[in-house]
Structure 1
Amino acid sequence: MPWRKHWVDPRIDADDPALLRQKLERRAYEVWISEIMLQQTRVAVVIDYWNRWMEKWPTIHELAATSGDDVLAAWRGLGYYSRATRIHNAAKLVCEDSAMKGLLPSSVDTLVAKVPGVGRYTAGAISAIVFGKAAPMVDGNVLRVLSRQLGLLGDVKTDKSVIDLLWAAADSLAKAVAEDSCDGEISSTTEEQISDRPGRWGQALMELGSTICTPKPDCEACPISTSCRAYGEGLQLASTRGLAPKDIQTTLNPNPLPDIEDSCDFCKPFEEVAQNGGDEDAEIVPISKKTNASRSKARPRLQRQATLSAFFTQSNESKETPDSVPTELTPAGLATIVNHAKKFPVKVVKKAVKEQETLVCAIRRSDDRYVIHRRPPKGLLAGLWEFPSWIIPEDCENTETAYKRAAELHASAVLDPTLKLQSLTHPKLKYVSKLGSVPWLFSHLKLTMHVFLFEIKCSKNEFDTLPSTDDRWSDSIETESMGTGMRKCWDLVREVNGD
Structure 2
Amino acid sequence: MPWRKPWIDPSSVPDAAVLRERLERRAYEVWISEIMLQQTRVATVIDYWNKWMAKWPTIHDLAAAEPDEVLAAWRGLGYYSRATRIHEASKIVCADEDMQGLLPGEVEKLQAHIPGVGRYTAGAISAICFGRPAPMVDGNVLRVLSRQLGLLGDVKTDKAVIDLLWGAATALVEAVAQDAEQLSTGDDGHALSDRPGRWGQGLMELGATICTPNPNCSGCPISSSCCAYGEGLKLATDTDGPSKSKTSTPRAIIPDIEDACTLCQAFEEFAVLDDAGQKPSETAKAPLQKQTSLQSFFFASTKDKKTTSSPPDDAACMSVITNHAKKFPLKVVKKAVREEQTLVCAIRRGDGHYLIHKRPGKGLLAGLWEFPSSILSDPSDAQPKSRKQIATRYVHSVLGLAAGDKRLKHVGELGSVPWLFSHLKLTMHVQLFSVKDIDSASAPTVTGTSSGSRWSNDVEGESMGTGMRKCWSLVNEAMDMAE
Amino acid in the other structure paired with 1:190:
D
Q: Which residue of 2 aligns with 1:97?
A: 96
Q: Which residue of 1 aligns with 2:260?
A: 263
Amino acid in the other structure paired with 2:85:
R
SS at match of 1:383: coil
Does residue 5 in structure 1 map to residue 5 in structure 2?
yes
Aligned equivalents of 1:495, 1:282: Cα separation in 2:
40
Q: What CA deviation, in whole Å up to 9, does each residue of 1:236-256 have, x standing for no partner?
A: 00011489xxxxxxxxxxxxx
Q: Which residue of 2 aligns with 1:464?
A: 441
TM-score by length of 1: 0.85
Aligned equivalents of 1:261, 1:177: Cα separation in 2:
30
Aligned equivalents of 1:304, 1:330: Cα separation in 2:
22
Q: Which residue of 2 aligns with 1:431?
A: 410
* Aligned CA distance change for structure 1 residues 379 and 396 (closer, same or farther; 3 Å): farther
Amino acid in the other structure paired with 1:443:
S
In the alignment, which of 323, 327, 334 is matched to residue 350 of structure 1? 334
CA contact (8 A) 1:271 1:284 kept: no
**CA apart distance, 1:328:** 4.6
* Aligned CA distance change for structure 1 residues 303 and 368 (closer, same or farther; 3 Å): closer
Q: Which residue of 2 aligns with 1:481?
A: 463
1:5-24 matched pairs, under 5 angstroms: 5-14=5-14, 16-24=15-23
CA contact (8 A) 1:272 1:305 kept: no
1:295-374 matched pairs, under 5 angstroms: 305=290, 308=293, 325-374=309-358
Q: How many residues align?
A: 452
Q: Which residue of 2 aligns with 1:166?
A: 165
SS at match of 2:414: strand
Q: Which residue of 1 aligns with 2:143?
A: 144
**CA apart distance, 1:408:** 0.8
Aligned equivalents of 1:112, 1:362: Cα separation in 2:
42
Aligned equivalents of 2:140, 2:320: Cα separation in 1:
22
Aligned equivalents of 1:360, 1:284: Cα separation in 2:
33
SS at match of 1:498: helix
Does residue 178 in structure 1 map to residue 177 in structure 2?
yes
Q: Which residue of 2 aligns with 1:294?
A: none
Aligned equivalents of 1:190, 1:116: Cα separation in 2:
24
Aligned equivalents of 1:179, 1:222: Cα separation in 2:
25
Amino acid in the other structure paired with 2:258:
E
SS at match of 1:80: coil
Using the TM superposition, name which of 262-271 and 55-64 deviates more.
262-271
RMSD, aligned CA:
2.7
Q: What CA deviation, in whole Å up to 9, does each residue of 1:343-375 have, x standing for no partner?
A: 000011111111100001010011111001111
* Aligned CA distance change for structure 1 residues 346 and 476 (closer, same or farther; 3 Å): same
**CA apart distance, 1:410:** 1.4
CA contact (8 A) 1:415 1:426 kept: no
CA contact (8 A) 2:231 2:292 kept: no
Aligned equivalents of 2:397, 2:295: Cα separation in 1:
69
Using the TM superposition, name which of 387-396 and 194-203 deviates more.
387-396
CA contact (8 A) 1:145 1:213 kept: yes
Q: Which residue of 2 aligns with 1:220?
A: 218
Q: Which residue of 2 aligns with 1:254?
A: none
Q: What CA deviation, in whole Å up to 9, does each residue of 1:325-346 have, x standing for no partner?
A: 2345321110000000000000
Does residue 123 in structure 1 map to residue 122 in structure 2?
yes
Amino acid in the other structure paired with 2:471:
C
Q: What CA deviation, in whole Å up to 9, does each residue of 1:220-275 have, x standing for no partner?
A: 000000000000000000011489xxxxxxxxxxxxx99643532111112179xx
Q: Which residue of 2 aligns with 1:196?
A: 194
**CA apart distance, 1:100:** 0.7
Q: What CA deviation, in whole Å up to 9, does each residue of 1:108-161 have, x standing for no partner?
A: 000000000000000000000000000000000000000000000000000000
Aligned equivalents of 2:273, 2:97: Cα separation in 1:
58
CA contact (8 A) 1:408 1:425 kept: no
SS at match of 2:10: coil
* Aligned CA distance change for structure 1 residues 476 and 209 (closer, same or farther; 3 Å): same
Q: Which residue of 1 aligns with 2:42?
A: 43
Does residue 230 in structure 1 map to residue 207 in structure 2?
no
Q: Which residue of 2 aligns with 1:384?
A: 368
**CA apart distance, 1:282:** 8.3
SS at match of 1:449: strand
**CA apart distance, 1:463:** 3.6
CA contact (8 A) 1:141 1:210 kept: yes
**CA apart distance, 1:470:** 1.8
Give unmatched runs, 5+ long, in structure 1. 244-256, 287-301, 316-320
SS at match of 1:11: helix
Using the TM superposition, name which of 106-115 and 389-398 deviates more.
389-398
**CA apart distance, 1:464:** 2.3
Q: What CA deviation, in whole Å up to 9, does each residue of 1:69-104 have, x standing for no partner?
A: 000000000000000000000001111111111110
**CA apart distance, 1:415:** 1.1
CA contact (8 A) 1:284 1:343 kept: no
* Aligned CA distance change for structure 1 residues 258 and 146 (closer, same or farther; 3 Å): farther
